[in-house]
Amino acid sequence: MDKLIIEGGRPLKGEVEIAGSKNAVLPVLAATLLTDKPCTIRRVPKLRDSMTMIKLLRSLGKKIEMTGNDVVVESKGPLSHVAEYKLVSTMRGSFCVLGPLLAKLGKAQVSLPGGCVIGVRPVDLHLKGLHALGAQISMENGYVITKARTLRGTSVYLGGVFGSSVLATANVLMAATLAKGQTVIESAACEPEIENLCHFLQAMGAKIDGVGSHRLVINGVRQLHGAEIHVIPDRIEAGTYILLAAATHSDIRIKGANYAHLWALVDKLKQAGVDVIQQGNVIKVKNPRTIKPVGVTTYPYPGFPTDLQAQFMALMAVTPGISIITERVYPDRFIHVAELNRMGADIQREGPNAIVQGKRPLFGAPVMASDLRASAGLVIAGLAAKGRTEIHRMYHLERGYENLDNKLLALGARIHREKE
């Protein structure tokens, strides 16, 4: 296990290229279970999570070849319907094999998922949607067991307490592509990652209307064929580098991101006085002389992403003044508050709110990464702080940021790995 050492307190400069989206590639890979024909997926990020999904697909009977960032998925024989605990328990995104396995095989046995510890994230909406399609569902020894002789189209509402569920939408959507008749998903997640999945399914022969909206209409087909898809750029990685640039008062060019996927973040940064400018295929963050504190509330897309909450909090921690950050997607997603306070931040939590009394500078300290995005927030704080920061459990970062330490080195950061 490695830890990340950062010598902070210096501005960065240069260009960084954004990888394919982690949150988009996982359901796209799972969708290959719906067909026996070869599928090509381009711009697959080399991350722990994408490699875990590839291992899971192989364990289910798929043949996979990876060349650079291109992945070809083929069938090599009958599929298994059992997604085992040892893989699914490490990553919540792997639970999205449930829908395609059920649709393709008429049965699926998938372990309850694991992943980051960011609060309660039930799978009730997944099961509600699949049950509406006609699946019989039971729980046994930590596994979800589903059976259905025939899935039949229906109307289902997938809104939850904290908004639409991306993975539940993906699971029900994929199952519905092979169901008999028409399925209508109301309150579907409309994140760009779901849109990317829809485009892949359409390329495979699925009939889907309403792509990009909260109402998806799927007319089932008998079978799907092979297809090719480019994974969209990772908007969370792009947002992390934008916030990193602002926190360190740096001039950074971000290549390959989709500016339209970042409006909620860009709007908040404009309020704070940070210029984020689109120049063709490049997003430029100009060194802000002063930054004003602004509050933010997380919501499902197109609202401010919960996956950028910790990184935004790190920026506000080094911005003089008071800001309030409210978490409406995962109200318990504040484990990073204690670690930022270890570095000299002044953050108080009150229910779903974090009250940030920003100040400069923070000071380096040993901190513990608790989850993927909290880890990114600690990296930003470490780069902005004076002195040496040690981030333990670096493997969290490797789940969602491709080649992070080398990208930061190229920007001029003083950063390296050490063994724990």
Q: Among all residues, which ones are annotated catalytic?
A: 116
Minimal CA–CA distance to 213: which of 237, 184, 240, 242? Answer: 184
CB 75 within 8 A of CB 61: yes
**3-class state of residue 21 by DSSP:** coil
CB 403 within 8 A of CB 45: no
Minimal CA–CA distance to 310: which of 275, 260, 271, 349? Answer: 349
Strands of 271-407, DSSP E: 276-279, 282-285, 296-298, 321-327, 347-350, 353-358, 366-368, 387-392
Question: How many C-beta neighbours within 10 Å does residue 347 have?
Answer: 20
Strand-pair partners of 7: 388, 414
Distance CA 112, CA 93 (A): 11
**3-class state of residue 225 by DSSP:** coil
Distance CA 24, CA 238 (A): 14
Question: How many C-beta neighbours within 10 Å does residue 299 have?
Answer: 17
Distance CA 360, CA 380 (A): 14
Cα separation values, 299 from 157, 189, 327, 328, 344, Å = 18, 11, 8, 6, 28
Distance CA 166, CA 349 (A): 27
Sign, Cα dihedral of 260, 405, 56, 140: negative
Reported residue count of the chain is 420
What are 414's two structure tokens? 């003083």
Distance CA 133, CA 126 (A): 11
Distance CA 307, CA 97 (A): 22
